[in-house]
Amino acid sequence: MAVTMRDVGRRAGVSAKTVSNVINGYPYIRPATRDRVLEAIAELGYRMNTSARSLRTGRRGTIALALPELRVPYFAELASEVIHAAEARGLTVIIEQHGGRRDLELDVLTGSRRDLTDGLIYSPLALGPGDEALLDVPYPIVLLGERIFHPNLDHVTMQNTAAAKAATEHLLAQGRRRIVAMGPNPDQDVGSAPLRFAGYQAAVEEAGIAVDPALAVPTKRSWDHATGARTIGRLVDDGVDFDAVFAFNDSLALGAMHELQARGRRIPDDVAVIGFDAIDEGRYSNPTLTTIDPGRAQIPRDAVRLIDERQRGVAGDPCRVAPEFRLVPGGSTGAEELAARGARA
Amino acid sequence: MAVTMRDVGRRAGVSAKTVSNVINGYPYIRPATRDRVLEAIAELGYRMNTSARSLRTGRRGTIALALPELRVPYFAELASEVIHAAEARGLTVIIEQHGGRRDLELDVLTGSRRDLTDGLIYSPLALGPGDEALLDVPYPIVLLGERIFHPNLDHVTMQNTAAAKAATEHLLAQGRRRIVAMGPNPDQDVGSAPLRFAGYQAAVEEAGIAVDPALAVPTKRSWDHATGARTIGRLVDDGVDFDAVFAFNDSLALGAMHELQARGRRIPDDVAVIGFDAIDEGRYSNPTLTTIDPGRAQIPRDAVRLIDERQRGVAGDPCRVAPEFRLVPGGSTGAEELAARGARA
């Protein structure tokens, strides 16, 4: 039999309401009363009853978010936003990191932790086409990303190709002609890399320029600062000529910008740089980073709404959502001043 | 009765080993075989048996890390490092964010999620002195931070005061005399803010300088870029004269550096800036950020080791660990060149 606030109050000689006040940290409680209540809580081993709703509704009130790597700011910020969106619906979130390892991605799907959560927001890196059957699990899943699709599952994705095209067009509009695409991976035919490269390619070709293979620079899968710095450094060492960089995420862009500046290149005068994701860091870099906001506010809101509606049984047919994107002007392409002038005009 | 790999294999007409190979994504499996196995997995509702060890040892193999806010890079990187340290011990980690809200911090301690984890690495912000009895829970806890201490619990903390003193001495050694301390909070008498301010104060006073109250600049509790930028901007607007900033974390420092540069101040010539935490971002800012590494490698390793030893029943008396810190030289105090010269010498 679980210990209740009433039991704690009886032991401490106060009302259940006073116990609740102590637990919730209300001021104006006499120190002696407070101590008696805390002692009673400890003696009786009282645990807050978070399952009251669960008993009423058959739901646990907890969902999971599984993502590749919290160290990548995009995912840390996404996690934080999913938690806030879930809170607004009275849901708790636990975060699991799988590191893009297939065994851990499978453990996310099938491990015993799933017995404690109502649903899963799932952003895999290792699973891909051919693995769809592994997603036939007995709880709601909302997919994120572009690695794997499933006709029966809700999916929140991005307008990768259109947004990448807009990013490239922004550079072309400023007269840049030798634009590095940082992030394509010749070994990958699914995921955000090929989709973003397609947008780059379309924009360049529409401008009447042939895509120069020397400017399509593959990177390893982890798109972090160090990779961006190393990749652009190698390009400079190889004597490749370029006047702009479209990096497939902001961490790559910020790493590249750092390395270029360390080598005496001026941003944006010598090299204009644009990223993708609109992470917080790019608003405080020097110069600030021009980037693509792929729908940062809407992605977590939609993901949580879909998983919530699905588990409450009020969702319609499985749907695929790709929010509007927008270009965020920054100093790294000289766009900050343009934007400021526009705002004033 | 749980479905086993053998059951799946029987249905698909293959061995359990082949089922395992499909699940683990081994190449060289005929597509037809693979499809049959995936179909059988879906039909039988097979779920990977992650509880085999749990049955053997009575342990669940999962620990929780509860922290204030993943959006703060320090915590995102800490989470990632805890996960890697746990992996090395065969443990899975779930992350919970409480946002420094008392009700959520209590829910972390007493919510039903605790039935699924073997132990908790706990970094509270709202709980504090007087709440110790709430930590008397029936599972192992390792505390992080300086908000609350408990004689019976393992605790991994930092050498806050000594490290803050070293940071301030670094600025003094370069002839800076009007050093802003960004982060003290006059309403808080526990936590890292007063400890770091004590280090600042000791260094300044040992240098024979009286602490100028105008240079001790309080901030709200969330130490992020925006707060750093806003705080230093207000100081400049107020006409306060200063030649250096010791920000109590790196996000504040990077926000302040951004705002100072936007207002035409040169870093470090006009204002030298030092942070605290050694987050990844500071290695790629322009200039790079001088900071304090409070023991980033050791903190997650020690926390995971202690929780693991405690739950395996092989730990000794509760202990308090505060790893060695070190100053990381960067361009924001002109220390990068000194360090490079030192490395070459």
* Helix (H), strand (E) at residue A156: strand A154-156
Percent of all residues in chain B with a pLDDT value above 90, rounded to a whole number:
66
Does residue A284 belong to the interface with chain B, where contact is any CB pair within 8 Å?
yes
From the list A188, A199, A127, A125, the residue with the least C-alpha distance to A159 is A199
Provide, as residue numbers in chain B, all residues whose Cβ is less than 8 Å from the Cβ of A107: 48, 50, 92
Residue of B nearest to A26 (CA): B102
From the list A268, A241, A256, A273, the residue with the least C-alpha distance to A167 is A273
Answer yes or no: same fold for B62-158+296-314 and B160-293+327-344: yes
Question: Tokens for A120?
Answer: 């899963």
**pLDDT of A312:** 86
Low-confidence ranges of chain A (pLDDT < 70): 1, 24-27, 47-58, 337-345
Looking at CATH, the fold of the domain delimited by A61-158+296-314 is given as Rossmann fold (3.40.50)
Alpha carbon B13 to chain centroid, angstroms? 49
Provide, as residue numbers in chain B, all residues whose Cβ is less than 8 Å from the Cβ of A110: 46-48, 50
Which of B47, B137, B285 comes nearest A110 by C-beta?
B47
In the CATH scheme, what is the homologous superfamily, with its name and number, of domain A5-49? Answer: lambda repressor-like DNA-binding domains (1.10.260.40)
Q: Chain B 72-91, CB below 8 Å of chain A: which residues? A: 73, 76-77, 79-80, 83
The SS3 assignment for A134 reads: helix
**pLDDT of A4:** 83
Which of B54, B64, B80 comes nearest A70 by C-beta?
B80
pLDDT band at B43 (very low <50, low <70, confident <90, very high): confident
Pairing of strands A62-67, A92-97: parallel
Provide, as residue numbers in chain B, all residues whose Cβ is less than 8 Å from the Cβ of A53: none
In this predicted structure, the answer to whether residue B262 has a pLDDT above a threshold of 70 is yes
Provide, as residue numbers in chain B, all residues whose Cβ is less than 8 Å from the Cβ of A93: 96-97
The SS3 assignment for A241 reads: coil
Provide, as residue numbers in chain A, all residues whose Cβ is less than 8 Å from the Cβ of B115: 116
In this predicted structure, the answer to whether residue B25 has a pLDDT above a threshold of 70 is no
The SS3 assignment for B123 reads: coil
**pLDDT of A340:** 56
Instruction: Give the up-direction half-sphere exposure of residue B165: CA atoms within 13 A in the CB hemisphere.
Output: 13
Integer Cα distance of A35 and A14 in angstroms: 12
Per domain, the residue ranges of chain A are 5-49, 61-158+296-314, 160-293+327-344
**pLDDT of B57:** 56
Interface test with B, best of A48, A284, A296, A336 (most B CBs within 10 A): A284
**pLDDT of B78:** 96
Does residue A94 belong to the interface with chain B, where contact is any CB pair within 8 Å?
yes
Does residue A150 belong to the interface with chain B, where contact is any CB pair within 8 Å?
no
From the list A287, A288, A274, the residue with the least C-alpha distance to A325 is A274
- Average pLDDT of chain B is 89
Provide, as residue numbers in chain B, all residues whose Cβ is less than 8 Å from the Cβ of A25: 102, 126
**Cβ proximity of B181 and B209 under 8 Å:** no
Summarize the confidence of residues B161-175 as an average pLDDT. Answer: 97
Question: Tokens 């009007």 identify what position?
Answer: B178
Integer Cα distance of B332 and B268 in angstroms: 5
**Cβ proximity of A134 and B41 under 8 Å:** yes
Integer Cα distance of A103 and A128 in angstroms: 13
CB pairs under 8 A between A and B: 185
Integer Cα distance of B332 and B287 in angstroms: 6
| Residue B264 buriedness (CB in 10 A; 0-12 / 13-18 / 19+) | exposed
Which of A25, A45, A281 comes nearest B138 by C-beta?
A45
In this predicted structure, the answer to whether residue B330 has a pLDDT above a threshold of 90 is yes
What architecture (CATH level 2) is domain B62-158+296-314? 3-Layer(aba) Sandwich (3.40)
State yes or no: cis peptide before B268, omega within 30 of 0: yes
Summarize the confidence of residues B172-184 as an average pLDDT. Answer: 97
Interface test with A, best of B71, B81, B106, B139 (most A CBs within 10 A): B71
**pLDDT of A190:** 84
**pLDDT of B324:** 96
Sign, CA dihedral B30-B36-B42-B48, equals negative
Task: Give the model confidence (pLDDT) of B102-156 as tens digits.
Answer: 988 998 998 878 877 899 999 999 999 989 989 988 899 999 999 999 999 999 9
Q: Give the lowest-confidence range in B133-147, B198-212, B268-282.
A: B133-147
Question: Tokens 């909070």 identify what position?
Answer: B185
Residue type (1 letter), B195: L
**pLDDT of A267:** 97
Question: Tokens for B55?
Answer: 């049955």
In this predicted structure, the answer to whether residue B23 has a pLDDT above a threshold of 90 is no
Residue type (1 letter), A75: F
Give me the helices (H) in chain A, please. 5-12, 16-23, 31-44, 52-57, 73-87, 102-110, 160-173, 192-206, 225-237, 250-262, 298-311, 335-344
Which of B76, B92, B133 comes nearest A70 by C-beta?
B76
Question: Tokens for B126?
Answer: 């709202």
Which of B42, B73, B225 comes nearest A133 by C-beta?
B42
Provide, as residue numbers in chain B, all residues whose Cβ is less than 8 Å from the Cβ of A106: 23-24, 48
Question: Tokens for A223?
Answer: 């798109």
Question: Tokens for A303?
Answer: 């993901």
Task: Give the model confidence (pLDDT) of A64-86 as tens digits.
Answer: 999 999 999 999 999 999 998 99
Instruction: Dump strand ranges (E) for chain B.
Output: 62-67, 92-97, 119-122, 141-144, 154-156, 179-182, 216-217, 244-247, 272-274, 291-293, 320-321, 326-328
Does residue B63 belong to the interface with chain A, where contact is any CB pair within 8 Å?
no
Summarize the confidence of residues B323-344 as an average pLDDT. Answer: 79
- Dump the DSSP string for A33-67: HHHHHHHHHHHHT----TTHHHHHHS--SEEEEEE
Task: Give the model confidence (pLDDT) of B295-314 as tens digits.
Answer: 999 999 999 999 999 988 88
| Residue B33 buriedness (CB in 10 A; 0-12 / 13-18 / 19+) | middle
CB contact set of A264 (below 8 Å; sequence gap of 6+):
none
- Dump the DSSP string for B70-120: TTSHHHHHHHHHHHHHHHTTT-EEEEEE-TT-HHHHHHHHHSGGGGG-SEE
Alpha carbon B175 to chain centroid, angstroms? 32
**Cβ proximity of B330 and B290 under 8 Å:** yes
Which of B42, B69, B80 comes nearest A69 by C-beta?
B80
Question: Tokens for B277?
Answer: 């935490």
Looking at CATH, the fold of the domain delimited by A160-293+327-344 is given as Rossmann fold (3.40.50)
The SS3 assignment for A269 reads: coil
| Integer angstrom CA distances of residue B220 from A180, B105, B186 | 42, 19, 10
Provide, as residue numbers in chain B, all residues whose Cβ is less than 8 Å from the Cβ of A99: 83
| Integer angstrom CA distances of residue A138 from A1, A18, A60, B104 | 30, 42, 15, 29
**pLDDT of A338:** 55
What backbone torsions phi and psi does residue A182 show, to the nearest 5 degrees? Answer: -105, 115
Q: How far is A228 from chain B (nearest CA, A)?
A: 10
Which of A25, A77, A115 comes nearest B71 by C-beta?
A77
Provide, as residue numbers in chain A, all residues whose Cβ is less than 8 Å from the Cβ of B51: 112
Does residue A39 belong to the interface with chain B, where contact is any CB pair within 8 Å?
yes
Helices A160-173 and A192-206 cross at an angle (nearest 10°) of: 40
Give me the helices (H) in B207-275, please. 225-237, 250-262
In this predicted structure, the answer to whether residue B20 has a pLDDT above a threshold of 60 is yes
Helices B192-206 and B160-173 cross at an angle (nearest 10°) of: 40
Assign residue B15 a region: left if phi > 0, alpha if psi is -120 to 50, beta otherwise? beta
In this predicted structure, the answer to whether residue B54 has a pLDDT above a threshold of 80 is no
- Maximum distance among all alpha carbons in chain B? 83
CB contact set of A233 (below 8 Å; sequence gap of 6+):
A259, A263
